[in-house]
Structure 1
Amino acid sequence: MKYFAVFLPMLNEEKSKQYRGDHIAYLEEMDKKGKVYAKGRFTDGAGGLVIYIAETFPEVEELVKQDPYVKIGAREYEIHEWDMKVTEN
């Protein structure tokens, strides 16, 4: 499995507010399927970040395109494969 960092820059704040519940429900569904490693919003209002777990770029892109935020045009997306390194304390 690979990790993909998906930036979701804000396009339309009103649509983001309106569809927030749908977006969160979608991410919860993906989390239950083992497709989400981490997620969260940027505190400055610029958008959010989701780290997906997938085999390929096309697989994660399809997951992202099904996110209600992306489908309704509230957010853009930018996908980067992430070579995660864990720091041991």
Structure 2
Amino acid sequence: MSIFAVEYVYDADSAELRNEHRPAHRQWLQQLVDEGHCLSAGAFADGAGALLLFVAEDETGLIALLKQDPFAAVGAISGMKTTAWKPALGAFSDLS
């Protein structure tokens, strides 16, 4: 298993769409937290995107999972970057 940092980018004009679908998005994420797939997630303070930390076998499987995000289903994410991450210190270092 590897840890991946996922960055979502949101268009400024998608705020209403995200607000409408946020409950489903958070429910989806909470389920993934409960299952141990998502380590943490949260929006950037400026509202321009979000950072999510996932545990996954590989990037291909992670991307397939991210396509199930309710935000993705309604087109609320304008860009996404996934990066394998190997934390050396701190809360997640024992997972990598």
1:5-40 deviations in whole A, cap 9, x for unaligned? 111111311111110001000000111111011111
Could you tell me which amino acid in structure 2 is paired with residue 84 of structure 1?
Answer: P
Structure 1 stretches of at least 4 aligned residues deviating more than 3 Å after TM superposition:
none
Out of 43, 55, 58, the position equivalent to 2:57 is 55
Q: Could you list the runs of 5+ residues in structure 1 that have no partner in the other structure? A: none
Query: C-alpha separation between the residues in 2 aligned to 1:86 and 1:63?
Result: 27
Using structure 1 for the length normalisation, give the TM-score: 0.91
Using structure 2 for the length normalisation, give the TM-score: 0.85
Alignment length (residue pairs): 88
Deviation at 1:52, TM superposition (A): 0.6
Residue aligning to 1:24: 26
Query: C-alpha separation between the residues in 1 aligned to 2:63 and 2:6?
Result: 9
Deviation at 1:84, TM superposition (A): 1.4
RMSD after superposition:
1.4
Query: C-alpha separation between the residues in 2 aligned to 1:46 and 1:13?
Result: 10
Residue aligning to 2:39: 37
Could you tell me which amino acid in structure 1 is paired with residue 47 of structure 2?
Answer: G
Q: Could you list the runs of 5+ residues in structure 2 that have no partner in the other structure? A: 91-96
